Amino acid sequence: MARFSRIEVALKMKEIGMVPVFFHSDLEVCKLVVKACYIGGARLFEFVNRGDYAHEVFSNLNKWCEQECPEMILGVGSVIDAGTTALYLQLGANFIISPILNAEMAKVCNRRKVAWSPGCGSLSEISQAEELGAEVVKIFPGEQVGGSEFVKAVLGPFSWSSIMPTGGVRPEYDNLKKWFDAGVHCVGMGSQLIPQKVIEAGSYTELTLNVRSTLDMICAIRQKS
């Protein structure tokens, strides 16, 4: 059962401004990455549903996280159907993120009051997602669907929308500034924030510094807005 309500998740996304996105088949590597992000100030983390037995890795990671990183809101991404959604909810996922808009997933999450962020690429999809109960809508792939200009255009007629881009977001001041100036709710970052070379080298202190630096930049950008 989720430890954090969908409202708590949406508010924390807004407060922190960033969701690290990561997958590895080795549970111990996942623990090190989550811990490094947690020390760096992250309070949300998207575990990517990728490959066979990913749910088993998540199950163990979530149990560990509850003890070692109690404020971390751990959720699951790259979920595309209702059955997989239900599986991860049973394992305690605090939010479900998808690259697509699937109404059946919304029903499963809404019954348990768990946050659901579907991937959208048009104003019509965003409107449908919100009608289905999505508090924060993901645009994916962020850069390809129109980037920060797309976000800015959407928030003209849809000023109430909360948008999280993933894809095309980089831990660089100018890049982050264009997204937050456009009005995003938060951003998702995967390999740009957690590069493979850092994992291969076991440079988890470097990862912590990357996360802290990125969150500091987001805070500074918001203060100037």
Distance, first Cα to last Cα, the chain:
38
Domain residues for 134? 6-224
Cα Rg, the chain, nearest whole Å: 16
Model confidence over 32-58: pLDDT tens digits? Answer: 999 999 999 999 999 999 999 999 999
What is the distance between the alpha carbons of residues 64 and 162, in angstroms, rounded to a whole number? Answer: 30
Below-70 pLDDT ranges, the chain: none
Q: How many domains does the chain have?
A: 1
pLDDT of residue 224: 87
Residue at 68 is within a domain? yes
Q: Is the dihedral of CA 176, 179, 181, 185 positive or negative?
A: negative
- Whichever domain contains 117, its CATH number is 3.20.20.70
pLDDT of residue 114: 98
Residue at 1 is within a domain? no
Q: pTM of the predicted model, to two decimals?
A: 0.97
Residue at 63 is within a domain? yes
pLDDT of residue 28: 98
Number of C-beta neighbours around residue 129 at 10 A: 25
Q: Tell me which residue of 43, 51, 50 sits closest to 95, measured CA to CA.
A: 43
